[in-house]
Structure 1
């Protein structure tokens, strides 16, 4: 991706203006997906401002739950300081699968042949002549 794409397209990652805006801000951590998290300055309510710079496309479903909590001021410190360690039975978060081959497709969808299970006896189809 060239420098012009970085200047004009926000959906492919952080723009040049975003990187300039992060000057003087502190990087507080990264997650397993490579997203970087920054903090610095104050908003109008006096809370610290927090940002995420995505590694790859800008997709908010790629922010893990623990960092989501940090971004939205649900926890004060970074997740490794404020949250208990991950339990053995917990699964890693999965990004949004819509539009991919892994997306959920119910029975009867056209991709699977469009054949639905026959209705049971409690359903009667409407007809205009009835």
Structure 2
């Protein structure tokens, strides 16, 4: 199309104005998905302001837990510096799968055909005459 969409759209990445607003802010790090994290300035309560610039679509579920903790001031330094190393038994982080083909659908869900295993016979439906 030829138009510079980052100037006008926010849903597929940071706008030009957002990038200009990050001038002078300190880049703290980058996560495994390529999202960039910045810190700079203070809010009226004196708490440092923190930002995430998404790589790709703006979806808050695409922030890994360790960076979520940093964004919400649960930890002070960058996760690589403050948190312990990942243990072998920890599962890798995955983004929210709701609304995708990979979403969990229990037996009996319409997307899985709407059929479920029949009840074992210990269920008796209520009737007003009983």
Q: CA separation in 2, counterparts of 1:118 and 1:106?
A: 14
The TM-score with structure 2 as length reference comes to 0.89
Query: Structure 1: how far apart are the matches of 2:23 and 2:2?
Result: 22
What is aligned with 1:65?
A: 65
Aligned residue number for residue 40 of structure 1: 40
Runs of 4+ in 1 over 2 A off after TM superposition: 1-5, 119-130
1:1-130 alignment, distance < 5 Å: 3-125=3-125
CA distance in 2, matches of 1:129, 1:8: 65
Deviation sequence 1:38-89 (CA, Å, 0-9, x none): 0000011101110000111111111111111111111111111111111121
Please, what TM-score do these two structures have when normalized by structure 1? 0.89
Q: State the shift of 1:117 in Å.
A: 1.8
**Which stretch shows the higher mean deviation, 36-45 or 109-118?**
109-118
2:2 and 2:27 map into 1 onto residues whose CA distance is: 25
SS across alignment from 1:67? helix
Give the deviation of 1:123 after TM superposition.
Answer: 2.3
Gaps of 5+ in 2: none
- Range with bigger deviation, 103-112 or 119-128: 119-128
Unaligned runs of 5+ in 1: none
